[in-house]
Amino acid sequence: MNTMKTIILMTGLTLLLVIAGNALGGRNGMMTAFIFASMLNMATYWFSDKIVLAMYGAREVSHAQATELHSIVRELSLRAGVPMPKVYLIDSDTSNAFATGRNPDHAAIAVTRGIMNLLTQNELSGVLGHELSHIKNRDILIGTIAATVAGAISMLANMAHWTMMFGGRRDDREGGNPLLAFAMMIFAPIAAMLIQMAISRSREYLADENGAKIAGNPLSLAKALGKLHRGVQSIPMEVNPATAHMFIVNPLSGGGFITLFSTHPPIEERIRRLEKMVRS
């Protein structure tokens, strides 16, 4: 269900790019914005592991330095059928974790010191199963594609805004409608962001479901999510909002975000779905 939802949302985002691109910049403007957004996002995607891990001061730990953590990741990797990712530790008392890397062969899982102290072994297995699911499902790539299309739409809207300010206009020979262009300039970036956030939430639901299956116990992941949510609220973590979607629980969740504009589903709904897996 969540996979089909992602496909539908990605299709909708692509159609929005075509419609908004034609209205705001014509075919040439649309291609220029898309190529530029692709270059920026693909560079980030290719070096995502190094960029994000350095941003949070994560250090790689060996099996000897973190025996329990390494052992769990290795066992779950075998169950998931993915290569063993590199394991990193973030020196922070907050409780969170994320996965990064451009593909399963170049992946990394990072956990905070706080999560190691907070969770039981079974709960930690649920969290690591969730992160391995992101790696297996290539969610970093999917997120990058969504960000590229949404970024191209935002660039087109900005281009149209500056063109309007300086009295320019696009070539009407392509059948441009000024009213449609104005509406797209206002609403297309908002719609693109909403779709991008919805894609992120659908991937979190899918990672919860698959991660619980990999770890073998949905209730352990459900309990872990509840603990992590309370932990983030009690000990907030300073994060770059652009990377908030990568964490298993939203590190910015203390601010009461509107659900439609959140990268993460409501924690209560995630727990409810995991508990339903046990009953069914």
Query: Catalytic residues, which ones?
Result: 131
| Helical segments of 137-266, H only | 139-165, 178-215, 218-234
* Nearest of 11, 17, 105, 113 to residue 58 by alpha carbon: 113
In this structure, are residues 107 and 82 in contact, taking their beta carbons and an 8 Å threshold?
Answer: yes
Residues near 197 by beta carbon (within 8 Å), at least 6 away in sequence: 260, 261, 262, 263
Q: If 0-12 CB within 10 Å is exposed, 13-18 middle and 19+ buried, where does residue 51 land?
A: middle
Place of tokens 């969290």: 127
Place of tokens 């104005």: 182
Strand positions, DSSP E, the chain? 59-60, 86-90, 97-101, 107-112
CA-to-CA distance for 149 and 20, rounded, in angstroms?
11
Q: Which two tokens stand for residue 79?
A: 């169950």
